[in-house]
Amino acid sequence: MYTASDLRKGLRIKIENDPYIVTEFNFVKPGKGQALYRCKLKNMVNGNQFERTFRSVDVFEAADLQEKRMQYLYKEEGKYCFMDNESYEQIFLSEDQVGESKNFLLDNIEAEVLLFEDRPLGISLPNFIDVIVTKADPWAKGDSVSGNTKPVTVQTGYQLQVPPFIEEGEKIRIDTRSGEYLTRVKG
Amino acid sequence: MIEDDSWKLTVRTDALRLRARMIRAIRRFFLHQDFLEIETPLRIPAPAPELHIDAVAAGAWFLHTSPELCMKRLLAAGYSRIFQICKCFRAGERGDRHLPEFTMLEWYRGGADYRALMNDCEALINTVAREIGLDGVVYWQGRRIGLNAPWERISVRDAFARYATISAAEALRTDRFDEVLACEVEPHLGMEIPVFLYDYPVEQGALARVKEADPGIAERFELYIAGLELANAFSELIDAGEQRRRFEETSRDRQRKGSAVYPMPERFLQVLPRMSPSAGIALGVDRLVMLLADKSRIDDVVAFTPESL
């Protein structure tokens, strides 16, 4: 159980059977009046946001969230199939639930799937993945006019900006949180 | 590993310089008018019971939540113009405009009522603003606020009627007074010129005198500039019997909601009948620095916050 004084950005609470995350938080107290806790809350299932003001007497249930390690298997009709590594049970996530991570779903990659009472909410991937560049314009040595980076496509179909010396067939490391190029991987 | 945040002190240099100049100007303002600067103990045995203000325990005593009771004992002893700049402590108050340890300016005028303090506010803030190079205008978070007196004066009843979805009476009846005030009324207050919000329901003025013409109203005002609540003032209640009754009622309400109950401030109640009609006001110095330095967060006008210690 949480009380209103536990409220802070990032706290995850349960309201009417849905998990919510506090996305904005401010403490206000008019004059000699009671403390008020103004929050912006986001429904973690459907993404709806709303504002609500709580008082110090309000209490909240913690949202019962679990993370399970699962393996990405395949995509079918816009659904992403993951398998529980322990039970071999398979579940499907929507494109919304996978979010930006869809750009980094290598075959058989392991992800942490966030679950609320067995309903999947989203996934988080390892912070860094190594991928092969499948499409890149050749590097014209000495070509400094065209800028510092160039666009390439990697094996997941994701496009990003990389330094001009990266060639097709090379392996590069990407930060999955920002989606940005980090370094060239040898071998 | 502990994060090295000394850069936060470096970027606050300008605000801290401004703060020091403002505090010098405040002192000068009062000394020029023959006010006596007072220091009262921070650690006291019995803070004034207020429903929504919690004191920090210090041994068997408490850190004061304001210097009010000691200042009033001085008034009762015949001191009639006194001021103090001191730290006050309020448990659990932390936000963009709150620190659990903050700097308060309090001053009292014997023989005056709350209207005299409105004039003081106009003169004081204009003097301090001029001292730091602002002439009659302050810009806060993109808003232009004129400081030339006279400032706007609006009663709590009229402010609710103008800005809120329900009346002040209705808000009180449904226990939503604070919420409606904070969310619907305060954001409109003092956006072009400063505003004195005055004449509170008597339930909202524990140490304030009741208006002669209307026993449901307490002679209390709050000063707002750019939506920032800067100061709280009373025509002081000097009826000791009435004060004791209100303290006891507040203590019972605190007990009912599970808050700590403080000892009765007996020495204060004992001398209260000797206090002449007076008016007193508390102004948040950190908030005034926020306003005049154009800072949106109280963190930006102090050297250290509790989180950085």
Q: What is the ipTM of this complex?
A: 0.85
- pLDDT at residue B126, as a whole number: 98
Can you tell me which residue has the tokens 């007497």? A57
Model pLDDT, residue A59: 92
- Cβ distance of B179 and A5 shorter than 8 Å: no
Chain B residues with beta carbon closer than 8 angstroms to that of A28: 95, 97, 182
Calculate mean pLDDT across residues B123-137: 96
Please state, in angstroms and rounded to a whole number, the distance separating the CA atoms of residues B206 and B237.
9
Question: How confident is residue B10, by pLDDT bands cut at 50, 70 and 90?
Answer: confident
Question: How many CB atoms lie under 10 A from the CB of residue B112?
Answer: 20
Triad B109, B110, B111: Cα angle to 5°: 115
Look at B177 and A26 and tell me if their CB atoms are within 8 Å.
Answer: no
Q: Does the bond joining B265 to the residue before it have cis omega, within 30 degrees of 0?
A: no
- Number of CB pairs, chain A paired with chain B, less than 8 A apart: 56
Q: Is the pLDDT of residue A167 over 80?
A: yes
Handedness of CA A118, A124, A129, A132 (dihedral sign): positive
d(CA B61, CA B116): 35
> What is the predicted pLDDT for the residue at A137?
87
Hey, of B53, B172, B179, which one would you mutate to test binding to chain A, going by the most A CBs within 10 A of its CB?
A: B179
- How far away is chain A from the Cα of B232, in angstroms, using its nearest Cα? 7
Q: Residue A154: left (phi > 0), alpha (psi -120 to 50), or beta?
A: beta
- Say whether B95 and A36 touch across the interface (CB within 8 A): no
Residues 6+ apart with CB under 8 A from A87: none
Spatial distance between the Cα atoms of B21 and B11, rounded to a whole number of angstroms: 18
How near does any CA of chain A get to the CA of B258, in Å?
A: 10
d(CA B179, CA B181): 5
What's the gap in Å between the CA of B286 and the closest CA on chain A? 15
Backbone angles phi, psi at B89, to 5 degrees: -130, 125
Amino acid, res. B196 = F
**Measured CA distances, A47 to A43, A96, B104 (Å):** 5, 10, 43
How far apart, in whole angstroms, are the C-alpha atoms of residue B224 and residue A142?
63
Nearest CA in chain B to A4: B92
Q: What is the pLDDT of residue A174?
A: 94
Per-residue pLDDT at A64 exceeds 90: no
Coil vs helix vs strand at B173:
helix
Nearest Cα to Cα of residue B260 among B43, B51, B45: B51
Of B50, B96, B186, the CB nearest to A30: B186
Given a cut of 80, is residue B22 above it in pLDDT?
yes
Q: Hunting for tokens 């249930």 — which residue is that?
A: A61
Average pLDDT across chain B, whole number: 95
B206: which chain A residues are within 8 Å (Cβ-Cβ)? 32
